Amino acid sequence: MAVNFPHSTSQPLLEVKDLCVSIPSYGRSVALIEHISFTLREREILGLVGESGSGKSVTATAIMGLLDTPGLKITGSVRFRGQELVGLSARKMRAIRGRDIAMIFQDPMTAFTPVYTVGWQIDEQIMAHERLSRKQARERTVQLLAEMGVPDPTRTANRYPHQLSGGLRQRAVIAMALSCNPTLLIADEPTTALDVTVQAQILELISTLRDTHGSSVLLITHDMGVVAETCDSVMVLYSGRIAETGLAEALFAHPRHPYTTALLNSIPPFYGERPHRLPAIAGTPPAPHERPAGCAFSPRCHDAQTICSTIPPLSPAGNGQQAACFFSTSGQQEH
């Protein structure tokens, strides 16, 4: 069921297959994500889209091996450069984390430990993976900060997180993530907490990374606008399942899943106030333990039919797209 993106020529960097994460709750197992499969090639930017609670972050953290809630069960396969990450020993995983795969988190406000300077924290990551002296590490830190467009990087490195503006802080976060030249960067809603102008700068920065650092990016967002601007390909998640995948242009042109359609309708205007949620879709996505049988989107779907009470398989919908909707091929979308 792997999704292949026809235009990608390079070999797959990350191969996720049938990834499922479930958690026990009141005696039964509740799936947080189910059967997530995708491939990410080198220098590719993949957008992972969905509302809050759709499983984007779970997918990302599962890849990073950062899920450690007691009782949590992860099945499936995550291959990074051919190496299986699911079930990898903690020590080996640590060596990959931060060096080969780095992650940028949603809120730059809280991403840094408040009691250390930004520089110290970037140095820490460098020194955790490379045999460098503190001085050498700091040199690299300052250089990275400069590359990220941080003014007066030497001074900034000596400042505490709370002393920096949101944008600067997110640049520092990205600098930290890139400090060991990771081949895969997972960015979890990197711009949500920033104001619009800074948002654009950060997105610009991320999209140039593949050229400057040769990194692939897994960009997690709920904002279709961001995807449109930045990503090569898109994967839409809904309630822990893949709703639709495809190349960005194709998907934006012809969404095959009613959810994707709804999302596209809700792209906020570039100027003006950014809505906090996606108000265009009535209702809220179901919590994992309240997920309805069958298509999870059916309760909110205008076109839901009786057939929707069974889970729709992810099936090709033309133009390299795949969608998990019984009606995806019959073109029942309004657009």
Which chain residues interact with other proteins by CB under 8 A?
53, 61, 64, 66, 70, 90, 94-99, 102-103, 105-107, 110-116, 124-125, 128-129, 160, 162-163, 173, 176, 287
Which pair of tokens denotes residue 130? 């490379």
Q: Which is nearer to other proteins, 107 or 249 (CB)?
A: 107
The residue type found at 156 is T
Q: How far is the CB of 53 from other proteins (least distance, A)?
A: 7
- Letter string b/e over residues 186-210, b meaning 16 or more CB atoms within 10 A of that residue's CB: bbbbbbbbbeeebbeebbebbbebb
Tell me how far apart the alpha carbons of residues 298 and 23 are, in angstroms, rounded to a whole number: 24
Q: How far is the CB of 104 from other proteins (least distance, A)?
A: 9
Q: Which is nearer to other proteins, 21 or 111 (CB)?
A: 111
In contact, 304 and 298? CB cutoff 8 Å: yes
Q: How far is the CB of 215 from other proteins (least distance, A)?
A: 15
Q: Which is nearer to other proteins, 107 or 139 (CB)?
A: 107
Output DSSP code: residue 289.
Answer: G
Q: How far is the CB of 127 from other proteins (least distance, A)?
A: 10
Q: How far is the CB of 15 from other proteins (least distance, A)?
A: 21
Query: Long-range contacts made by residues 270-276, C-beta under 8 angstroms, separation at least 24?
Result: 270/196, 270/225, 271/196, 274/196
Tell me how far apart the alpha carbons of residues 300 and 304 are, in angstroms, rounded to a whole number: 8
Tell me how far apart the alpha carbons of residues 35 and 103 are, in angstroms, rounded to a whole number: 22
Q: Which is nearer to other proteins, 104 or 264 (CB)?
A: 104
Q: Which is nearer to other proteins, 92 or 302 (CB)?
A: 92
